[in-house]
Structure 1
Amino acid sequence: MGRTDRASRVIAASPATVYDALLDRESVEAWLPPDGMRGRIEHWDPRPGGGFRIVLTYLDPADSPGKSSAATDVVDVGFAALVPPERVVQQAVFEADDPSFAGTMTMSWQLTPTGGGTEVTVTATDVPPGISQADHEAGIASSLANLASYVETSGRH
């Protein structure tokens, strides 16, 4: 059994708005890359059994060498479960030669209504040992901050 990493944030938007941002290609491409990265989605099929492939490029690869190449992380993500507007479960596999990044990591996005909007809790299970827990939790928190900024400024609360 692998490691579990978590992060959460309250976002000032409805669960339906947040859920929509988790399943819209342009939205995901905009908010998912954590600070210091940009993303490009190569394939998009937002349904159970579908998924997407994202290429994350480090803006400064000297500080953070990529898992797939010197400057990139390539991740194939499958949608294991879609429960609108409550939960999205993804299974992520990194494209990497290094066995410390091998395996399937499950990312569960739980959306819980709160008085101030939606509490979004991300739980990553079976995290590959090559991914530092501190870096991973900071990356999830950064993606959540980007998601909050994206939906809160879109005017679609």
Structure 2
Amino acid sequence: MAEHLRIDTASRIIAAPPEAIYRAFVDREALLAWLPPEGMTGEMLEFEPRPGGAFRMALHYSVPGHGKTTEDTDIVDSEFAELVPNQRVVQLVRFKSDDPAFAGIMRMVWDLEPVDGGTRVIILAEDVPPGISKEDHDEGLRSSLENLARYVEGSRD
């Protein structure tokens, strides 16, 4: 029987409407500003925000030795599998690595649920490669949500 890969999840209420949060996913500069977790910077290599469209990002670690592609870099190839305006973003993520522990496709589902005072953003990461520790991934998800909150809450009129 095949081993099923891990599912990680995180959520946060952000004091912004779903429309503002959704825009942060489909705008190149916005995504680059908030998606890289703490300790990383991003470089957008390709960006096509439509169902079936791709985005390719290089994530550079501030401290070398953690990278999946090179010692200090992760190259992430993603596809926008589903875009439901103001409700849901589904990305299929592949890490460029020779290490089989990072092989496969991780499905990232971002649901946006209106709540009093803003939007609950729920991340569901399915088929997380075993090379990504749960602790590191949980911290990365939380960090990205904090960055997203800071980005959209700070950009409101």
Residues 34-75 of structure 1, C-alpha deviation per residue, up to 9 Å, x if partnerless? 00000011001000000200000001114xx20000000000
**1:55 correspondence with 2:58:** yes
- Extract structure 1 runs of 4+ deviating beyond 4 A: none
Find 2:37's aligned residue among 9, 22, 34: 34
Counting aligned pairs with the same residue, the percent is 55
Q: Which runs of 5+ in 2 are unaligned?
A: none
Q: Which whole-Å CA distance do the structure 2 matches of 1:51 and 1:150 have between them?
A: 23
Residues 111-131 of structure 1, C-alpha deviation per residue, up to 9 Å, x if partnerless? 000001000000000000000
Tell me the residue number matched to 1:18. 21
Cα root mean square deviation, aligned: 0.7
Q: Which whole-Å CA distance do the structure 1 matches of 2:143 and 2:78 have between them?
A: 19
Aligned residue-pair number? 154
SS of the counterpart of 1:69?
coil
Q: Give the letter aligned to residue 82 of structure 2.
A: A
Q: Which whole-Å CA distance do the structure 2 matches of 1:118 and 1:149 have between them?
A: 13
Q: Which runs of 5+ in 1 are unaligned?
A: none
Tell me the residue number matched to 2:98. 97
TM-score, normalised with respect to structure 1: 0.96
TM-score, normalised with respect to structure 2: 0.96
